[in-house]
Amino acid sequence: MSMSDEKPQLRLAMDFITMYNTDLWGLDDYSKVYYRDSVSPKVFWDKSLDILEKVGIQGVELTVGLSDWRNALERYTTVDGFVRALGDRGLELCSGFYCGLLFNDPANWDRTEWMKPERQKEILAEVAAYADFIRAAGADIMVAGLPMRPLWNEPGAGFVDLAYAQKLADFINKMGLVTRQHGVRLALHAASGSVFWFRRDIDLFLTLTDPVFIDFCPDTAQILAGGTNPVSVLEDHSQRVSITHWKDVSGPARENMAMIKPAAHQEMYARVGSGAVDWAAWASKLRDVDYSGWALIELDAAADPAADLIAAREYMEEHALPAYYR
């Protein structure tokens, strides 16, 4: 958030999930993008950064799988080498997405694994190392997804009730303490199908977590898919927002969409400007709450990343940014 008398500014970025189209990498299964070794780091990073150089954005957000921070180190040897590779193309790191609460093994999205004491120790060590990389690369935000909701008919699934939320929030607070000790803020990301999706979920976890340690990353498409206007969520939780994801969706999810596998959510999403998000209202509210920072354009597995990102950027420049800079 802006803390001075300077006019607020938005900087455009994108999450690397935009680059996760299987045809782009010769993969035969979408799940393989979540594995670090599906494509060699050299091939992935060289091709990705060459594509992004043409797009006209300023920042990138790392995520799980092919763009994992450890793959960046394998390609560039040092953090400085990675930063130089970005800088040579007019880019910088704005944030890193952490998926360790969603899954450890990409083949096993076990929503209860985070509860195991041994896994909690691993998670805290992972976020510490990841935070060190993010900070050394010049950024200071780690975005975190939360576990998936149980399937509605899953035997013994349980509920996302106060007892569950309190346990998860307590551990999230510990994660936030660790990242802060390493110079990085932790921001919770609202995601379709997760326990941090519906308006009630967002209110609940932002109430139970400590605002000193835990920020909020609203995602326009994910929140709207959960049946809530992202503008109203932003208005109520603006003081917690440290980064924003700009994504479009056809509309609220169909009945029980929250209770099916994550891959089935893909069909909901739309290219920026062709969905139901009111971009002018979103940008205007960001201005009203004095948000200044990153606006991450997110296009899941774009068929033509360069063309699609350029089209999204141009749409934002014509239809959203004028409302922000009015």
- Higher-confidence position of 121 and 6: 121
Residue 222 — pLDDT band, cuts 50, 70, 90? very high
263, 257 Cβ separation under 8 angstroms = no
The residues that bridge with 217 in the sheet, in sequence order, are 189
Q: Among 61-65, 96-100, 221-225, 248-252, which is the least confidently predicted range?
A: 248-252
Residue 264 — pLDDT band, cuts 50, 70, 90? low
**Is the pLDDT reported for residue 262 higher than 60?**
no
Neighbour-count burial of 243, counting CB atoms closer than 10 A to its CB (0-12 exposed, 13-18 middle, 19+ buried): buried
**Is the pLDDT reported for residue 255 higher than 70?**
no
Angle between helices 69-76 and 79-87 (to 10 degrees): 90
Hey, what are 187's tokens? 């921001």
Give the pLDDT score at 68.
97
Residue 69 — pLDDT band, cuts 50, 70, 90? very high
For range 52-79, the mean pLDDT = 97
What gap in Å lies between CA 214 and CA 240, rounded to an integer?
A: 8
Residue 6 CB: number of other CB atoms within 10 A? 8
- Higher-confidence position of 247 and 7: 247
Distance of CA 145 to the CA centre of its chain: 7
Distance of CA 28 to the CA centre of its chain: 25
pTM of the model: 0.94
170, 163 Cβ separation under 8 angstroms = no
Residue 274 — pLDDT band, cuts 50, 70, 90? confident
Residue 171 — pLDDT band, cuts 50, 70, 90? very high
Distance of CA 84 to the CA centre of its chain: 23
Phi, psi of 75 (to 5 degrees): -75, -40
Residue 185 — pLDDT band, cuts 50, 70, 90? very high
For range 25-35, the mean pLDDT = 94
Hey, what are 88's tokens? 């040579």
268, 307 Cβ separation under 8 angstroms = no
- Strands (DSSP E) contained in the chain are 10-15, 59-62, 92-98, 141-145, 185-189, 214-217, 244-246, 248-249, 269-270, 293-297
**Is the pLDDT reported for residue 251 higher than 80?**
no
**Is the pLDDT reported for residue 258 higher than 90?**
no
180, 134 Cβ separation under 8 angstroms = no
